[in-house]
Amino acid sequence: MGIYIAKRLLYMIPTLFGMSLISFVIIQLPPGDFLTSLVSAIADSGQGLDRASIDRLTALYGLDQPFYVQYWNWISGIVFRGDFGWSFDWGQPVSRLLWDRMGITLLVSGLSLILIWLIAIPIGIYSAVRRYSAGDYIFTFIGFIGLAIPTFILALGLMYVSFTYFGLNVGGLFSPEYEGARWSIAKFWDLLAHLWIPVVVVAISSTAALIRVMRANLADELGKPYVTTARAKGLSEFTLIMRYPVRIALNPFVSTIGWVLPALISGVTITAIVLNLPMAGPLLLRALVSQDMYLAGAFILIMSVLTLIGMLISDILLALLDPRIRYQ
Amino acid sequence: MEQVTLTEATLLPAAGMADAGQWKLMVWRFRRHRLAVVSLGIVVLLYLVAIFAEFLAPYGPDLTRPQYTYAPPQGISFVDHAADGALSWNPHAAGYDITVDQEAMRRTFTPNPDKIMPLGFFVRGEPYKLWGLFSADLHLIGPTKSGEVVYLLGSDRLGRDVLSRLIYGTRISMSIGLVGVVISLALGLFLGGISGFYGGIIDSLIQRLIEVVSAMPTIPLWMGLAAAIPLTWGPIEVYFTVTAIVSLLGWTSLAREVRGRFFSLRGEDFVTAARFDGVGEMRIIFRHMLPSMTSHVLAMVTLAVPAMIIAETSLSFLGIGLKPPVVSWGVLLQDAQNLRAISSAPWLLLWPALAVMVAVLSFNFLGDGLRDAADPYGD
């Protein structure tokens, strides 16, 4: 098992390198570098910046260096010192803005994942056992609708419905009275009352795909001889299905975390923008619009790395559940 | 030659499964998937709407009317109820009274059952140039009395007709899916092809690349790339850049599929035979291997379109994709960005959202049907 994990970690290194490279390209992509925008911002505020100071700043940030040197400066700062660069828009180090927002983004993604499983596993089992029944068709249809609505439209729709019919304003994470308050049980409940909306919105779009995976996995197992044997021995249908085929069908299901996670993080990002939640999404959009590229690049990098770690966890879980994987 | 045809005809008499070609089998197989057939119809219809947008839309997409801001959708009915219960053919839209609230500075529209707006088909209205070439002024539907304005799906904050904008938006949104998928296909075929054909180091390199791209959350990545589009660019440049961005990240699944196909085809007898015949590599790929995976690739391509439509819609909605005056479904949804807008004019959210959903669902079902039909020899 140790060897498997070590190998898996080694495999992550080129992927991590590729991700950091793409993030850095995004940072470099807008025409002109941040110094140009800084200089124009200072010029706008009425003060001039002389040639010498511009040159000094250029040298300080290594902007006159070739691409790979700049990349090295950036990535070595992150890896060795946890320094993600400077946010010009906020006038703070990026790392100070990053973690709070990422934490809550991760919380919502995690809760969505749990919700998806809670919905998809039972429905998948039902659909596989009662294939082509009315219930199966209804769930498939609802699932497809969930698949077809872009997450942000779902968020907007939910916002509209809860406002017009229930008089609730669902934007934000806290009610105004708890906004600056200290943490307490009441504040926690208030958080939960707001948090369920993004969690549900994000979960809906990925549930359909997982129902189909679960249904297909289980349907494959149900036709196998061991199921017939167990039935012939007189096991009740419920015990039979739950005890043997479902356990086997769950194994490949675990590996779905890998491709659900990028979709979840995507969904959370755009939902947070629509509902104006204090998460990574709105900050990323603002950073991109104002060309605050170190902040934007850091968000994209961290989101990607977290997704990769999620995939690693799902692979390790799969190897724990299914010994065949370890020995390949 | 004649003899051969004769023997075939005698050996396989029925016009049944036995002598049907592969494509014919696929068509039969496809027809069994009812939902896919219906979806094919809807997709064709959507593209027809996109092609004939000028004729189908009652008005131009940018025609503003300040006296009709946020006009609600008018109900439409085709028959008249006379007092004695008899029905007569008279297409019309429900009318309303407009009152201006001086204090709130907004108009209220109250439905008035006594007022009706007679509608006609093939009416002459606002002149336009079909495809920018032919001058015409014929519209599919419109009010028959000149001077009357009808908003079948409501109007927006500038009094522009939502129906017309939706129809023009179909052109942009549906074509982005199509152009994007062509770029994805080219990339996917090329990279997946050499990956699966050569294997070895090239294969592992390309596989790592695919891994990196597909592990990165798409929306943040799209946002990052789209934000680099300079504000000074014209609508056409922005359109093609957005299409390229959207397709740049969609090729991975196509490449994977193509690679898998190449791996399984590489060992097939007909490829080995071609190689023994001394056929060059390029010819083997293009003449022998690619044609035998056409149907699968077609299914994959169809399934890739919805993601592109959603991507364009999301980016434009966030304000970093297409921008007005270009009209796409995503641009229309920009008007429905906040609670105030949607609570006072829900139709601004409803109709574009419905269009996106219908398009995405149809492509999904169509792709499902094509995927089942791609392998007509299965169970």
DSSP 3-state assignment of B69? coil
Asked whether residue A68 falls in the same domain as residue A154, the answer is no
Asked whether residue A220 falls in the same domain as residue A265, the answer is yes
Task: Kindly report the nearest CA distance between residue B337 and chain A, in angstroms.
Answer: 7
Interface probe for B, chosen from A25, A153, A212 (most Cβ of B below 10 Å), is: A153
A232-241: average pLDDT? 87
What range defines the domain where residue A298 resides? Answer: 103-321
- The alpha carbon torsion through A41, A44, A47, A52 (nearest 10 deg) reads 50
**pLDDT (tens digit, 9 = 90+) per residue, B51-83?**
887 777 777 777 777 777 777 777 777 777 666
Does the CB of B334 have a partner CB in chain A at under 8 Å? Answer: no
Question: Could you give the strand order of the β-sheet that contains B134-143, starting from the edge strand earlier in sequence?
Answer: B76-81, B87-101, B106-130, B134-143
Asked whether residue A190 falls in the same domain as residue A216, the answer is yes
Does the CB of A87 have a partner CB in chain B at under 8 Å? Answer: no
Is A326 inside a domain boundary? no
Asked whether residue A90 falls in the same domain as residue A207, the answer is no
ipTM entry: 0.78
Residues B82 and B257: their CA atoms lie apart, in Å, by 62
Is B26 inside a domain boundary? no
Least confident range from A106-120, A237-251, B108-122: namely B108-122
Task: Kindly report the nearest CA distance between residue B220 and chain A, in angstroms.
Answer: 6
**What is the enclosing helix (H) or strand (E) of B265?**
helix B251-266
Asked whether residue A182 falls in the same domain as residue A280, the answer is yes
* Cβ within 8 Å, pair A163-B320: no
* Cβ within 8 Å, pair A303-B211: no
Asked whether residue B296 falls in the same domain as residue B345, the answer is yes
* Cβ within 8 Å, pair B336-A308: no
User: Tell me, what's the pLDDT at A41?
Assistant: 67
Does the CB of A295 have a partner CB in chain B at under 8 Å? Answer: no
Does the CB of B349 have a partner CB in chain A at under 8 Å? Answer: yes
User: Tell me, what's the pLDDT at A291?
Assistant: 78
**pLDDT (tens digit, 9 = 90+) per residue, B231-243?**
777 778 888 888 8
A264-282: average pLDDT? 84
B106-113: average pLDDT? 71
If one counts the domains in chain B, the total is 2
Q: How far is CA A327 from CA A4, A161, A293, in A?
A: 8, 52, 44
If one counts the domains in chain A, the total is 2
Does the CB of A164 have a partner CB in chain B at under 8 Å? Answer: yes
Which of the listed residues B154, B181, B204 is the one where a domain comes to its end? B154
Instruction: Say which CATH number the domain at B353 has.
Output: 1.10.3720.10
Instruction: Say which CATH number the domain at A267 has.
Output: 1.10.3720.10
Is A139 inside a domain boundary? yes
* Residue in B208, B212, B317 closest to A152 by CB: B317
* Cβ within 8 Å, pair B217-A299: no
Q: Which residue of B has its CA nearest to A312?
A: B215
* Residue in A18, A169, A299 closest to B212 by CB: A18
What range defines the domain where residue B228 resides? Answer: 166-374
Q: Which of B162, B165, B178, B159 is nearest to B312 (CA)?
A: B178
* Cβ within 8 Å, pair B217-A262: yes
Task: State the angle between helix axes of A134-148 and A94-129 in degrees (0 to 180), rounded to the nearest 10.
Answer: 160
Asked whether residue A17 falls in the same domain as residue A123, the answer is no
User: Tell me, what's the pLDDT at A9?
Assistant: 87
Is A328 inside a domain boundary? no
**Paired sense of beta strands B87-101 and A86-87, if any:** unpaired
Task: Kindly report the nearest CA distance between residue A167 and chain B, in angstroms.
Answer: 11
User: Tell me, what's the pLDDT at A326?
Assistant: 65
* Residue in B220, B356, B357 closest to A269 by CB: B220
Asked whether residue B223 falls in the same domain as residue B370, the answer is yes
Is B22 inside a domain boundary? no
Task: Kindly report the nearest CA distance between residue B285 and chain A, in angstroms.
Answer: 30
In the A/B pair of chains, how many CB contacts fall below 8 A? 138
The token duo for A188 is 């926690």
pLDDT at B13 over 60: no
Q: In whole angstroms, what separates CA A235 from the centre of its chain?
A: 42
Asked whether residue A66 falls in the same domain as residue A142, the answer is no
**pLDDT (tens digit, 9 = 90+) per residue, B240-266?**
888 888 887 778 888 888 888 877 787
Asked whether residue A146 falls in the same domain as residue A63, the answer is no
A37-45: average pLDDT? 68
* Cβ within 8 Å, pair B224-A30: no
